[in-house]
Structure 1
């Protein structure tokens, strides 16, 4: 993707408290390796087979926010996106904030309180999220997926006629977001508890990571201080696990038929990290 991409998921980031502790946990559970990010000290890029998967920044304390995974969406103008968020009834918590080399980001919540980010600037051309062999997947858990689609459609300009943008389709009680013909996220209607003391029950963008050995990943989670959240999934779910990392960050592990393929090592100088 380039800076012309609009409304497309463009990055996943964990706001952590302790960078080394987060690297130790996610490296053990997901097999990630880590390298320094261009955003500065306290930021790192997680890679799988040399390909970037996500970012980790030890900024939860600085921003006075809970440890959490956040999905970012590409926009052409962060100020305009922030204005649309407010016009549509969302809440802007942070930003836009400038990050090197030349990017700007903001954090917000939608009408139901699900957190997301917007990013203005270049994005990694071969970073991938989706339902094929990409290493990650996104699902919005919300009260009404169709209402949510209207909100995000306006904020992120989905179906806005941009050939490098996103398309939305309605399939039964789900909304499916596609980019380049590939599904990259789903918006799901269902029971949620806004303000619940259990974060897994609140409206949220669920970040999923795919693993070939789900049982092995579960053992690694428990051995390294994480927990498995039993009430976050429908009864009988055997192909995925929702996890709380040692600092409370929620994510989901999906069973994959095979590990995501290595594409190539990226030229990080062209990216936003």
Structure 2
């Protein structure tokens, strides 16, 4: 399990997953495995040497209008709900309240006091 305060995951938010899969396969040798997100969407797990290293998230729909493509980092924290309360008390803004992703963990999205967006997550325990 990733330790509290360490970066746990990175996710490329993109409108063209096929283009970005081709780019990263050609440049750094990543391979990809798809995960059904429902609604006809596929989340892509990027692998290096067989190990998962990042994800490609398809930005589709009205929630992403006007949002530029970007990398989204996720910081591992112990007990995201409690740590998020500390973050709010220290000037962070919650952009998406904590939610659970089965088998992945509990995630919240926030804007730090300086304006940067970041995901904080309590990773799921390995089965």
TM-score (norm 1): 0.40
1:46 and 2:46 are equivalent in the alignment? yes
1:77 to 79, 84, 95: 79
Name the CA shift for 1:102/1:54 in 2 (closer, same or farther; >3 Å): closer
TM-score, structure 2 as length reference: 0.80
Of Structure 1 and Structure 2, which has the larger fraction of its residues in strand? Answer: 2
CA shift for structure 1 position 10: 0.8
Deviations 1:99-140 (A, max 9, x none): 1226221111211112211011237xxxxxxxxxxxxxxxxx
Conserved 8 A contact 2:96-2:110: yes
How many residue pairs get matched?
Answer: 123
Contact persistence 1:39–1:99 (CA under 8 A):
no
Is the Cα contact below 8 Å between 1:39 and 1:101 reproduced in 2?
A: no
- Deviation (angstroms), 1:38: 7.0
| Structure 1 partner of 2:4 | 6
Bigger RCO of structures 1 and 2 (CA < 8 A, at least 6 apart) = 2
Assess, with a 3 A threshold, how the Cα gap between structure 1 residues 122 and 38 changes in structure 2: closer, same or farther.
farther
Gaps of 5+ in 2: none
Gaps of 5+ in 1: 124-269
Q: 1:146-173 deviations in whole A, cap 9, x for unaligned?
A: xxxxxxxxxxxxxxxxxxxxxxxxxxxx
CA–CA separation in structure 2 for the residues paired with 1:107 and 1:9: 14
Measured after TM superposition, the shift of residue 94 of structure 1 is 1.8
Q: 1:18 aligns with which of 16, 19, 40?
A: 16
Residues 94 and 7 (structure 1), Cα distance of their counterparts in 2 relative to 1, 3 Å cut: same
Tell me what 2:30 maps to.
32
Larger radius of gyration: 1
Q: Residue 26 of structure 1: SS of its match in structure 2?
A: helix
